[in-house]
Chain A
Amino acid sequence: AQKITQTQPGMFVQEKEAVTLDCTYDTSDPSYGLFWYKQPSSGEMIFLIYQGSYDQQNATEGRYSLNFQKARKSANLVISASQLGDSAMYFCAMRELDFGNEKLTFGTGTRLTIIP
C-alpha cells in the first residue's frame, strides 16, 4: 500500500527565511509522481509543484523547489524567501497508477506559520 509521511505537524518560520517541509513516501512501483499542495484557511487545494519518479532534475517553480532523493524516498519542499502569504497547510501527495486507474494519496500535512 502507498504511504506518505509528513512528520512536522507545525512549523514557525521568520519572514524572508527559507523553509523545508519534509515528506517521505513508501512505494514499490517504479513509476510514480509526487506533488505538493498548499491549502489556505479558505480550503482550496493549490497545486505548487510536481516531480516524476523518472525525472533526472529536481523540480522548481518560482520560490518552490522539490528536493527529491529517490534512494531515501524523500521529496522535501523548499520555499525560499518566505512571505506572510505562505502561511497555510501544506500537503505532500503521491500519484498512484494501477491498471490505468489513478489516485492521489495525501499525507497528514504541515501547518506553516510565517512570523513577521
Chain B
Amino acid sequence: ETGVTQSPTHLIKTRGQQVTLRCSSQSGHNTVSWYQQALGQGPQFIFQYYREEENGRGNFPPRFSGLQFPNYSSELNVNALELDDSALYLCASSLGALAGGPYEQYFGPGTRLTVT
C-alpha cells in the first residue's frame, strides 16, 4: 500500500510569485484535503477535493486554489504569495465522508514553503 506523497519537500519563493504544490493520495483513497500549518500552530483546513470537485473550504482567500485529477492526485496553487504564506503545507487523503467510514485522514510529509 503506497502512502501519501508530496512534492517538493522544500520551496523558497519571493513575495508576489505563484507556487504549485503536489500530492499523491494513498492507494484506494478518493478524497484529498489540504492544510496550512504555521510555525507553532495546529494545521488549518484550506479545502478538500472529492472526485475532482471542491468539497468544502476553510477561511482562505481565492488566491488559494486547487485541482484533483482522475487518479485522485491533487495540486494546491497559491497566487500572489505573501510573507504570511510561509508555512508547512500538508496534504491528507481519506475515503471521504460519503464512504461512511473509516474516517481517518492520512497525511503526507508536507511541503515547507518559505516566502521572502
Question: Which positions in A face B, CB cutoff 8 Å?
Answer: 4, 33, 35, 37, 42-47, 50, 52, 91, 93, 95, 97-98, 100-109
- Of B43, B58, B110, which contacts A91 at CB under 8 A? B43
Q: Which of B17-25, B70-78, B90-98 has 4 or more CB atoms under 8 Å from chain A?
A: B90-98
**With A50-B102, A91-B43 in contact, is A102–B56 under 8 Å at CB?**
yes
**With A37-B107, A44-B110, A107-B42 in contact, is A100–B90 under 8 Å at CB?**
no
Chain B interface residue count, Cβ-Cβ cutoff 8 angstroms: 30
15 more contacts with CB within 8 A, not counting A43-B109, A47-B105, A97-B97, are A33-B103, A43-B112, A45-B107, A46-B107, A47-B104, A47-B106, A93-B42, A100-B98, A101-B48, A101-B55, A102-B31, A102-B55, A102-B103, A104-B45, A105-B45
Number of CB contacts from chain A to chain B under 8 A: 71
Question: Which positions in B face A, CB cutoff 8 Å?
Answer: 31, 33, 35, 41-45, 48, 55-56, 58, 88, 90, 92, 94, 96-98, 101-110, 112
Give the residue among A46, A98, A103, A106 with the most B Cβ atoms within 10 A: A103
Inside 8 A of B104's CB, which chain A residues have their CB? 35, 47, 50
Q: Are B42 and A91 in contact (CB under 8 A)?
A: yes
Compute how far the CA of A90 lies from the CA of B104 in the bound complex, rounded to whole angstroms.
Answer: 16
Q: Are A50 and B103 in contact (CB under 8 A)?
A: yes
Inside 8 A of B107's CB, which chain A residues have their CB? 37, 44-47
Q: Are B109 and A104 in contact (CB under 8 A)?
A: no
Q: Are B88 and A106 in contact (CB under 8 A)?
A: no
